[in-house]
């Protein structure tokens, strides 16, 4: 799936940032790019809607909170994976 148009993100890029988009964790420019992509791309919009529905269902179903130490360990691991993926993506770019 690709529907990139000039400066707009393609489907792979939009879907990779979808969770950050849903959680409003993108800067304004990136948020606007993903919003525009979703406005123009029906398949990605369907995935977005499904992800939001699943996230809302999990939020309603999970009322227990993880211990703070577990939460911190999970967040550190998520950041490590994110950095690793970012480094891999950067090394794959022609340059």
8, 39: one domain = yes
Number of domains in the chain: 2
Q: Are residues 52 and 77 in the same domain?
A: no
For 22-71, write each residue's pLDDT tens digit.
999 999 999 999 999 999 999 999 999 999 999 999 888 877 888 999 99
- Compute the half-sphere exposure of residue 94: CA atoms within 13 Å on the CB side of its CA: 0
State the residue range of the domain holding 86.
66-95
Structure tokens at 89: 């993506």
Same domain assignment for residues 3 and 25 = yes
Instruction: Note the pLDDT of residue 1.
Output: 45
Q: What pTM, to 2 d.p., does this model score?
A: 0.58
CB 26 within 8 A of CB 17: yes
Mean pLDDT of 6-29: 88
Q: How far apart are CA 66 and CA 74, in angstroms?
A: 10
85/45 same-domain check: no
On whether both 52 and 91 belong to a single domain, the answer is no
């Amino acid at each position: 799936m690709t529907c990139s148009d000039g400066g707009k993100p393609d489907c792979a890029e939009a879907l990779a940032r979808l969770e950050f988009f849903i959680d409003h964790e993108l800067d304004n420019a990136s948020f606007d790019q993903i919003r525009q992509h979703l406005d123009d791309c029906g398949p990605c919009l369907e995935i977005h809607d499904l992800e939001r529905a699943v996230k809302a269902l999990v939020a309603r179903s999970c009322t227990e909170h993880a211990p703070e130490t577990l939460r911190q360990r999970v967040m550190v691991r998520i950041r490590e994976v994110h950095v690793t993926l970012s480094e891999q993506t950067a090394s794959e770019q022609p340059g």
